[in-house]
Amino acid sequence: MTRANDTSTQPTNNPASLTARTDRELIRSTHRSERFVLVELIVPPRTSDARREPVNVCFVLDRSGSMSGRKIEFARKAVEVAIDRLLPEDRFAVIAYDDRIDVVVESTPASREAKDGALARIRSIDARGSTDLGGGWLTGAEQVARHLEAAKGGGVHRVLLLTGASSSSVARPGRRCTPASSGRAEARFYARQGSGAERTSN
C-alpha cells in the first residue's frame, strides 16, 4: 500500500494557494484503482485598479442540425455568459449559421442595453439545416476586422467559433477576408477536423 498524502503549496510572496486532497489515505501500489482528487485553488482578490485591454470579439455559433439537443443549449449558454461579462468599453458581435448565415448582432459596444438585446436574440437560436462553417467564420472575421484600425494596434481581437462537429463546407487554408473598411485587416482560417470548439484570432 502507498500513502496518498495531501499536498499544499503557498508562495511566500503571494497569498495564492493550491491544495490537493485525495478521497482515501492509502492506495494500492500493485493493482489498478480509481481515485478522486479534490483540487482547491485560492487566488488573491483583484485590486480595484486592475484593468485589462478592451476586447473586440465575435461569437460564431453553429446552429446546424448536428448541434441539436444539449449541444446548442451549452453553446448558447456559453455565449450568454461571455457577453454578460463584457465591459462597456468592449465590443461584440454574434453570428449564427447553418446553410444560411445570419448576423444576429452587428458589432456594437457592450452597453447593458446592447447586451440585454443580444441575450434575448441568442435564446431564440435553435438547431436546424446543414453547415456552412467557413462562411460563418468569415462573416465573424469581417465583424471583428471592421474595428481594427480604430483600435490603433491596441486591444484584444478574437473570433470565437462554437461548433460540435466537423464540416466539409469550410474555408480552405489560406482563404482570406479583408474588409474594405479596414485595408490591412486580414483574417486567415485553418479548419481543424473534429474540433468541438475553435478559437482563432487575427
14 band by pLDDT with thresholds 50, 70 and 90: low
Residue 49 lies in a domain: no
- Looking at the fold, whether 154 and 179 belong to one and the same domain comes out as yes
Beta carbons within 8 Å of 97's beta carbon, 6+ residues apart: 60, 61, 62, 63, 64, 131, 132, 133, 135, 136, 139
b/e 61-75 (16+ beta carbons within 10 angstroms → b): bbbbebbeeebbeeb
Q: Is 106 inside any structural domain? A: yes
Tell me the pLDDT band of 162, cut-offs 50, 70 and 90. confident
Between residues 127 and 10, the one the model is more confident about: 127
The answer to whether residues 33 and 133 belong to one domain is no
* Shared domain check, 87 and 133: yes
Q: What is the mean pLDDT of residues 32-37?
A: 79
Give the three-class secondary structure for 52.
coil
Q: Which residues form the domain of 10? A: 2-42
32: buried, middle or exposed (CB in 10 Å: 19+, 13-18, 0-12)?
exposed
Q: Are residues 153 and 114 located together in one domain of the fold?
A: yes
